[in-house]
Structure 1
Amino acid sequence: MSVKEIIGKTIREEREKKGFSRESLCGGEEELTVRQLARIELGQSLPSLIKLEYIAQVLDIDLATLLAGESISIPDEYFTMKYQLFKFPTYGDEERLAKKIQMVEDIYEKYFDYLPEEELYMLELVDNTLDYRSTGKTAAAEDVFEDFFKQLFLKKYYTVNDLLLISYYALQCQDKDYDRSLLKSLEIKVLEQEISGDEYYNAEILGVLTAIAGVYLDHAEYSHIKRLSDRMHVIIAETQQHSVKPVGLVYDAKYYLYAEHDVEKAKKCYDLALLLAQNFGDPVLVSNIRMEREIDSI
C-alpha cells in the first residue's frame, strides 16, 4: 500500500472506532469538507499536516496514530520550483504563459506522488488559471472547485489557496457578467486579510487585489478601484514587493482619469509606473504600461 492509502485507511478506521460519521467529523466544513475527507480515506489524496492535526483533535487521538508509522515529507527541490512559479510574472505575455505552464507540468511530473492535497490543489488552481489566461475556455471556478468555493464564505482567515481561487474566479468575472454581491462579499473579506510572514501569501494578496480591480476596470466601474489599489500600495510598502508597484499605479491612473476626471494625476501615475518598470528592466511590463497609456490617450 502507498503512504496515501495507509494513512487514509488508518483515519477511516479511527473515525469509525470513535463513532464519527464523515459529516460529524467535518462539522461546519470550515477546516475540512466531507468530499476532502472521503478522498483522503480512499487513499486518493495525501492530507496536509494541518488537516491531520484537525482530524486528530476532533477524534481526540495522537497525530502519530493517524500517521501509522509513516512520514509526510516534501523534497526541498519542490519548494525551489514552487518559488520560481510564484515569482515569475507573465503580464499576459504568451511566451511567459507557455513557460509558466511548462513549470507546472514539470512539477506534476516530478513530485505528484509526494505532495499533500493542499499542494496539489494549489497546482491545479495555478494550472486552471494559466489555462484560462491562454484560452479563455476553462469551466467556471465556482463549479470546478465547488466545495472550496463554498468554504470561502465560511472562513474569516484565508489561505494562499483561498486567495488563488478568488483570483481565478475574479479573472473569469472580467470577461462576463458577474454576481456583484458575491464578488463584493469576497472583496470585503480579502481587504480584511492581514499581511503574513509567508511570502507566498503576501504575493497572492496582491494578486487577488489586482484581479478584482481588473473586474471593475473591464466593467467600467472605476469608482471601486481606488480602495483596492490603496491596499495594494500598503502591502507593497510593508512587504517590499516593489516590482508590483507599477501595476498599482496603473490602476490609480485609471481611477483618477475615469472616476475623478483628473488627467494630471493620471499622467503622474503613468509617469511613475513607467519609470519604475524601466528601472526593474522588465520589457513586457514596460510595453503593457505604454499600451494602457496609449489607450487612455495620456
Structure 2
Amino acid sequence: MNDLGEKVRLLREEKGLSRPIFCGDESELSVRQLVRIEKGEFRPTIKTLKYIADRLEIPSYVLMPDYKELPKRYQELKYFLLHHPDYGDKELQEQKEEYFDEIFECFYDDLPRDEKGIVDCLQAIDEVRATDNEEYGLSLVDEYLEELCNQSEFSFSDFLKIRLYFLCSYLEYIKIGQLAISKQIQLQSMFQKVCDRVEKIHTEDLFLVRDVLFAGLGSCELLNDLELFKLAVEKLNWISEKTRDFQKQPIVLMVEWKYYLRTDYDTAKQKYEEAKMMARMFGNEKLIVSLDNEWAEDLERYR
C-alpha cells in the first residue's frame, strides 16, 4: 500500500498539483484522505482510485501494485495500429498483420487484461473492415455489450469495443436489411452516450472517439436519424478544432454532405468539393477516389 501512496504523491507532484487543487471541492476525495493515502495509511476504494487516476490523466491500472511499464516496442506497435487506417491499402494491411503477429508472439501473454482487450478489439476491427464480415467481431461484442449498455462513462478500451459494436451492427443491418426495434434503440442510445462524453475526454484520446463516431454514423445513416447525424457533425468539428488535427476533415465533410443531401443539395455539393480539395492538400489520392465513389452512391440513394 505504501508503494501506491508514494506513486500517487510522485505523479501528483510531477503535474505540479497541490493537494487542495488535486481534490477540488473534496466531493470525491478530501485532502485528509489524500494525505492518508499518500502516507500508506488508507487504502482507497475502486471509485476513489479511478478518481485519482482521472485527475492524474492515467489509466487506473497504472496505480495497481503489480503494474509494470509496457515494453517500448509494444507501445510503438500499438501506436501504429491505432493511428494508421489502411483505407483498403493492401501493403498497409499486410504491415499491420505483421505487427499483430509480433504482438501475439512477443508480448500478448504478459500484457495486463485491459491491454489484451485493446489488442483483441484492434485485431477484430481490422478483420471486420478488411472482410466486410461482422462475424469476426461478434464474439467480442456479445461478451462486452451488456456491460457497455449499463455504463455512462467509458475507458479507452471501452471506446474500442463500442467502435467494434458499431461496425458489426452496420454490417449486420446491410446483410439482413433491417434491425429489430430494440437493436435500433440500443444503437441510438449508445451513439448518444458517446456524443455526450466528447467534451469530457482527454485531448490525447479524442482521435479514438472521433473514429468511434465515424463507425457509428453508418448505422445512423441507415436508421435515417438526422438529428444524431447533425449532432455527430458538431462533435466531429469540435474534435478537429480541439486537436488541430485536420487529416480526417475530408471524412467529416463527407458526413456533412450526407446530412445536407436530404435537406440542401447546393450545400451538400459544396461539402463534397471541400472534402476533395482537402484530400488533395494532404496528397491522399486513394481518399479522393473513395470520396468520388461515395458521392455517386449517395446521389443515387438520396436524389
Fold match (TM-score > 0.5): yes
What is the aligned partner in structure 2 of residue 50 from structure 1?
A: 60
- Cα pair 1:174 1:219 within 8 Å, conserved: no
In the alignment, what sits opposite 2:256? 252
Name the TM-score, length of structure 2 as normaliser: 0.70
Aligned to 2:103: 107
Shift of the alpha carbon at 1:294?
Answer: 2.6
Which residue identity does 1:160 align to in structure 2? F
Q: CA deviation at 1:254?
A: 0.9
Deviation at 1:293, TM superposition (A): 2.1
Q: List runs of 5+ in structure 1 lacking aligned partners.
A: 1-25, 32-47, 54-62
Partner of residue 80 from structure 2, selected from 72, 76, 84: 84
Cα distance change of structure 1 residues 170 and 144 upon mapping to structure 2, 3 Å threshold: same
How far 1:218 moved relative to its partner? 4.0
Q: Following TM superposition, by how much is the alpha carbon of 1:137 offset from its aligned partner in structure 2, in angstroms?
A: 3.4
Matches within 5 A, 1:1-298: 50-51=60-61, 64=65, 67=66, 72-139=68-135, 141=137, 143-175=139-171, 176=173, 177-178=178-179, 179-193=183-197, 194-197=199-202, 199=204, 201-222=205-226, 224-258=228-262, 260=263, 262-297=264-299
The Cα offsets for residues 72-94 of structure 1, whole Å up to 9 and x where unpaired, read as: 23111221221111111223445
User: 2:203·2:243 contact (CA, 8 Å) conserved in 1?
Assistant: no
Please say if residues 74 and 114 of structure 1, whose CA atoms lie closer than 8 Å, have aligned partners that are also in contact.
no
Deviation at 1:246, TM superposition (A): 0.8
- Partner-residue secondary structure (3-state), 1:127: helix
- How far apart in 2 are the matches of 1:101 and 1:161? 20
Report the CA distance between 1:158 and its aligned residue.
0.9
The residue type equivalent to 2:283 in the other structure is G
| Amino acid of the structure 2 residue aligned with 1:233 | N
| Alpha-carbon distance in 1 for matches of 2:265, 2:228 | 18
CA distance in 2, matches of 1:118, 1:210: 23
* Matched letter for residue 286 of structure 1: I
Mapped partners of 2:121, 2:260: distance in 1? 33
Distance 1:188 1:219, change over 3 A: closer
Taking only aligned residues, the RMSD between alpha carbons, in angstroms, comes to: 2.8
Superposed CA deviations along residues 254-280 of structure 1, whole A, max 9, x for unmatched, are 11012x1x1110011111111111111
What's the CA shift for 1:236? 1.1
Q: Normalization by structure 1: what TM-score?
A: 0.71
CA distance in 2, matches of 1:267, 1:145: 37
Given that 1:170 and 1:212 are in contact with CA atoms closer than 8 Å, whether structure 2 keeps it comes out as yes
CA displacement at 1:203 relative to structure 2: 1.1
Name the aligned partner's letter for residue 236 of structure 2: M
The aligned length equals: 238
For residues 131 and 96 of structure 1, the distance between their equivalents in structure 2, rounded to whole angstroms, comes to 13
What is the CA deviation profile of residues 97-136 of structure 1, one whole-angstrom value per residue up to 9, with x for unaligned ones? 3433332222222222331111111110011111111223
